[in-house]
Amino acid sequence: MPRLVSLLAFTLPLIAQDAFLAEGIRVGEVTPTSAILRVRTSQAPARVPGVYPREERRGRAALPPSGVPMSQLPGAVPGRAAQVRIIYSTKSSLSGARETPWTTTSAANDFAAHFALTHLKPETTYYYAAQITGRPKSAAGSFHTAPLPEKPRPVTFAVVTGMMYRDLDHPDGFRIWDSLRAAKPDFIVFTGDNVYYDNEPPRAVSIDIARYHWQRMFSLPRFLALAAEVPIYWEKDDHDTLSDDCWPGLDPDWMRPMTFAQGQQVFLEQAPLAGQTNRGFRWGSLLEIWLPEGRDFRSPNNAPDGPEKTILGALQKRWLKESVEKSDARFRVIVSETPWVGPDRATKGDNYANPAFATEGAEMRQWAGALKPANLFIATGDRHWQYHSVDPATGLHEFSCGPASNEHAGGSPGLDPSYHKFHAVQGGFLLVTVQPNAASPTITFDFRTPDGRSAYTWSPAVR
């Protein structure tokens, strides 16, 4: 994994007010020739100190304290308008660097700016820094571009979910963030539930409070160190869109005036995205991944089940099926925000492992299980336990990465021998490794604990 470059200094004309980058830089959407970098300009170089009071009760979280500005809450990162640009190079010294145009951040989009880097070289390490007018320092880091589709290269990636702030297992951030750095993946997929608007205090009943949730989570030191070394593909789920098990048009009174549509807006501010939330990425000839959108196109969870009831929506389903079937990658992985196989709790009703979406769930499992060659796998987030399941009807394999900490683990319906090859109520992450062995390429699914220890590995038989 490319090393982290040191902070760089630039001499620039001073402006009236200084600005900083307390949230660092988030790199995402990496391809062989492009990437998107997200920055947010802040009033101070670090987050507001302190810890937000924990609330042990579950369900609807308490509202924020009255009379206290959001900018003064522990973990807040108040924003400030500034001019910012990205400088990037294939040399760690940033010699011969290319520069993006200056962008002025504003309160309208939470002082965030997204920079699309294009015409990059495949399989190349790029070093970058953000330059802000009026500041002599800038955040810095590096990332590695993907190989071309015809190149048989080794690839390692991680899958993560369930990052509830209340369940942090270290004051500087989740232990898995350091464990991920040690594992040196080429990229990470955050499958959603990146923050919890509804059952994590303070309840996000406004855009400003929703933004605060992102600030206090992703300004933690361990995340900043991780994001400076590893690109992340971001998905969203229910808790980081609006509320538990939500769908378009469901705007509960107890979350108002915050709405589902506003949750969609905030996510696009926070993640290094170009606006399209369902997409796929190729990493050489051996691996292709798909990141479907599980919230924006779904039918109401409580609608009667039937052929028209959907999670994916007709257009997205067609895109997913056609692109997966067309792919000639040796291994294909759909990284879903919610389970396809399960089994899940009987009280849930928002995924393919539930009777609420039984018709489309059966359709998608049958489609995936019937694909030849049998090299399609499901990696899922959402569930608060780790498992490797095999659908008894279709043979489809699903891997649930588990929550970000042991403190957030629980709720499993229990071990089901007819499905489970592995089942553990614990936190951690899923590490997936593809190797271009001479005899036959391999893919390995490795469940890791929060401290990075391997708890279970599985690889399909070499054919």
Which of 101, 122, 144 marks a domain boundary?
A: 144
In a domain, residue 255? The reply is: yes
* Burial annotation 215-245 (CB, 10 A radius, 16+ → b, else e): bbbbbbebbbbbbbbbbbbbbbbbbbbbbbb
> Domain check: are 241 and 304 in the same one?
yes
Give domain status of residue 439, yes or no. yes
Residue 268 lies in a domain: yes
> What is the C-alpha to C-alpha distance for residues 303 and 292, in angstroms, rounded to an integer?
22
What pLDDT, on a 0 to 100 scale, did the predictor assign at position 128?
Answer: 97
Beta bridge partners of residue 190, listed in sequence order: 160, 234
CATH of the domain at 391: 3.60.21.70
Residue 19 included in any domain: yes
Residue 52 lies in a domain: no
Q: What is the pLDDT of residue 291?
A: 98
What number is the average pLDDT over the span 409-433? 98
Same domain, residue pair 247 and 274: yes
User: How far is CA 438 from its chain centroid?
Assistant: 33
Among residues 28, 427, 317, the alpha carbon closest in space to that of 189 is found at 28
> Tokens at residue 11, please?
């001499």
CATH at residue 25:
2.60.40.380
Say how far apart CA 104 and CA 95 lie, in whole Å.
25
Count structural domains, the chain: 2
pTM for the structure as a whole: 0.95
Q: Are residues 161 and 140 in the same domain?
A: no
Bridge-based pairing state of the strands 386-390 and 8-9: unpaired
Nearest C-alpha neighbor of 287 from the set 436, 403, 76:
436
Please check whether residues 108 and 196 belong to one and the same domain. no
Question: Mapping DSSP to helix (H, G, I), strand (E, B) and coil, where does residue 411 land?
Answer: coil
Which DSSP state fits 20? B
361 and 315 fall within a common domain:
yes
pLDDT, tens digit (0-9, with 9 covering 90-100), for 378-416: 999 999 999 999 999 999 999 999 999 999 999 999 999
Q: Are residues 21 and 91 in the same domain?
A: yes
Residue 69 domain-assigned (yes or no): no
Instruction: Show which of 119, 144, 169 is a domain's final residue.
Output: 144
Residue 71 within any structural domain of the chain = no
**What local confidence, expressed as pLDDT, does residue 54 receive?**
82
Beta sheet of 454-458, edge-to-edge order? 232-234, 187-190, 155-160, 429-435, 442-448, 454-458
Which of 91, 118, 144 represents a domain boundary (last residue)? 144
Residue 17 pLDDT greater than 80, yes or no: no
Residues 139, 287 share a domain: no
Range of the domain at 128: 8-43+79-144
Q: Is there a single domain that holds both residue 113 and residue 227? A: no
255 shares a domain with 140? no
User: pLDDT by residue (tens digit) across 298-336?
Assistant: 999 999 999 999 999 999 999 999 999 999 999 999 999
Q: Name the nearest CA neighbour of 128 among 35, 234, 259, 257.
A: 35
Report CA-CA distances (Å) from 71 to 21, 74, 165, 241, 306. Answer: 16, 9, 18, 22, 47
The answer to whether residue 150 is domain-embedded is no
Please identify which residue in the block is written with the tokens 């507001």. 48
Say if residue 165's pLDDT is above 70: yes
| pLDDT on residue 461 | 82
Residues 27, 163 share a domain = no
